[in-house]
Structure 1
Amino acid sequence: MLEEIYIAGFGGQGALSTGQLLAQAGLLEGKCVSYVPVYGVEKRGGVANCGVTISDREISSPIVTEPTVLVVMNNSSLARYQESVVPGGMIIINSSLVESPVTRSDVKVVSIRANEEAEALGNVKVANNVILGALLELTGVASIKGVEQSLKEVFPKRHHHMIPANVKALERGAELVRTHKFSRTD
């Protein structure tokens, strides 16, 4: 098993924390993991991307240049990175914020209205974990239980009261995939 995941968005959308949670869950589950964040100098609203590789064998390079999975949180990230996905790979889109269409026909596209789903759960700030739950269900790279444990390690103690809301978001994202309540192109 080898998944090279690139998560792209703007600062404040949770792209970096999503990558951290995914990498930590992989580590907790005994997998080989790399996590490389890329961010702009702006405090909020600047580039916030990361590459996460999860494998059952050693990883030769930590840099993700040809992702098997691309998660996009905004239009500019889709425009910039969709061509980098390997043929047969997957693009997961937060369609609450991404209006541009995927122009590739050789990848699976999963569009999730993550912001609306998060609002329905009572907190729009967990939209990134709705996407992460879907990614976990689609790829099997880590478990929700692993990410739940990672929340305890990645979140500062002052944010631990938010863990239940984040777990609900993870479960909702996985449920959307299981019940096919997203727009998709195979």
Structure 2
Amino acid sequence: MRHEIIMSGFGGQGVLVMGQILTYAGMLEDKNVSWIPSYGMEMRGGTANCSIIVTNRPTGSPMVEKPTAAVVLNLPSLDKFESMVRPGGVLIINSSLVDKAVQRQDIEVYRVPVNEIATELGNPKMTNMVALGALIAATKAVAIEALFKAFAKKFAAKPHVITANQEAIKKGYDCVKNA
């Protein structure tokens, strides 16, 4: 099992945190992981992305060139990463901000209204956790329980945000699982 994942969106959407949580969850499951962030000088509002590898085997390089999955939270991210997903891979699209049709027929595409779901849950800042839950339902890279634990560890100093974000992960997960 080897998952090579790209996550991308505008700076401020929590893309890098989403990647960190997935990486921590993989570590909690004793998997080999890597996480490489990338963001423009603008940060908030500029493009941000990260590459994550989660695998049961040793990995020689942290580079992701042909991802098995991608999460795109905005249109520029779809334009950049759709063609990179390897055939048979998974593409999670934030349908709240991206209404462009996908050109590929050789990948699984899940359109998830992450902004609307996060807003319904009471906090638009949870869009990244909704998207992360959707990714896990589609790829099974880690168990959802590992995501819950990883989030709780990362945000231990902010216990008031843990339950709501775990609910956001679950909503995203259920959106794909029930598709």
The TM-score, its normalising length taken from structure 1, stands at 0.92
**Paired letter, 2:22:** L
For structure 2, the 5+ residue unaligned runs are none
Deviation at 1:43, TM superposition (A): 3.4
Unaligned runs of 5+ in 1: 181-186
> C-alpha separation between the residues in 2 aligned to 1:65 and 1:43?
23
Residue in 2 aligned with 1:163? 162
Identity of aligned residues (%): 44
Counterpart of 1:55? 55
In the other structure, the counterpart of 1:74 is 74
Equivalent residue number for residue 127 of structure 1: 127
**One-letter code aligned to 1:14:** G
Give secondary structure in 1 for the equivalent of 2:169.
helix
SS in 2 for 1:45: coil
Q: What is the CA–CA distance in structure 2 between the aligned matches of 1:21 and 1:143, rounded to whole Å?
A: 12
RMSD: 1.1
Query: Quick check: 50-59 or 132-141, which moved more?
Result: 132-141
Report the Cα offset of residue 6 of structure 1. Answer: 0.2
Runs of 4+ in 1 over 2 A off after TM superposition: 152-156
Counterparts of 2:16 and 2:97, CA distance in 1: 17
Q: Structure 2 CA distance, aligned partners of 1:43 and 1:134?
A: 25
Give 1:156 deviation, angstroms.
6.2
One-letter amino acid of the structure 2 residue matched with residue 71 of structure 1: V
Distance in 1, Cα, partners of 2:74 & 2:156: 27
Counterpart mapping for 1:1-80 below 5 A: 1-80=1-80
Q: Give the Å deviation of 1:130.
A: 0.9
**What is the letter of the counterpart of residue 177 of structure 1?**
V
Quote the Cα distance in structure 1 between the aligned partners of 2:152 and 2:33.
Answer: 19
CA distance in 1, matches of 2:12, 2:156: 16
Is 1:151 equivalent to 2:154 in the alignment?
no
Partner deviation per Cα, 1:61-108 (whole Å, 9 max, x = no partner): 101111000100110111111111101111100110112211111111
Q: Give the Cα separation in 2 of the matches to 1:82 and 1:95.
A: 14
Q: Residue 184 of structure 1 corresponds to which residue in structure 2?
A: none
AA matched with 1:106: D
Partner in structure 2 of residue 95 of structure 1: 95
TM-score by length of 2: 0.96
Q: Distance in 1 between matches of 2:79 and 2:175?
A: 25
